[in-house]
Amino acid sequence: MHLNLDNKTALVSASTSGIGYAIAERLLQEGATVIIHGRGEATVAPAVAALADKYGAARVQSLVADLSVPGTEQEAAARFPQVDILVNNMGTYALKDFFSMTDADWQAMFDTNVWSGVRLARTYMKGMLERGHGRVIFISSEVALTPMASMAHYSASKATQLSISRSLAELTKGTAVTVNAVLPGPTETDSLKSFIQSVNPGLSYAEAERKFMDENRPSSLIYRLAKPAEVASVVGFLASEHAAVINGAAIRAEGGTVPTIA
Residues that bind ligand NAP (CB under 6 A): 14, 16-20, 38-39, 43, 89-93, 112, 139, 141, 184, 186-187, 189, 191-192
Residue number with CB closer to ligand NAP (39 or 133):
39
| Spatial separation of the C-alpha atoms in residues 210 and 79, rounded to whole Å | 45
Residue number with CB closer to ligand NAP (146 or 175):
146
Question: HEC states along 155-214?
Answer: HHHHHHHHHHHHHHHHHHCCCEEEEEEEEECCECCHHHHHHHHHCCCCCCHHHHHHHHHH
The pairing of strands 85-88 and 250-253 is: unpaired
Of 41, 39, 42, 36, the C-alpha closest to 20 is: 36
Residue number with CB closer to ligand NAP (57 or 148):
148
H or E element in which residue 251 lies: strand 250-253
N-terminal to C-terminal alpha carbon distance within the chain: 27
Task: Please report how close the Cβ of residue 166 comes to ligand NAP at its closest, in angstroms.
Answer: 17
Residue number with CB closer to ligand NAP (186 or 236):
186
Task: Please report how close the Cβ of residue 107 comes to ligand NAP at its closest, in angstroms.
Answer: 13
Q: Which residues are catalytic, by number?
A: 154
Task: Please report how close the Cβ of residue 15 comes to ligand NAP at its closest, in angstroms.
Answer: 7
| Spatial separation of the C-alpha atoms in residues 78 and 35, rounded to whole Å | 13
Question: Sign of torsion, CA 239 9 142 122?
Answer: negative
Residue number with CB closer to ligand NAP (2 or 219):
219
Task: Please report how close the Cβ of residue 191 comes to ligand NAP at its closest, in angstroms.
Answer: 4
Task: Please report how close the Cβ of residue 238 comes to ligand NAP at its closest, in angstroms.
Answer: 15
Helix, strand, coil shares of the chain, percent, nearest 5, are 50, 15, 35
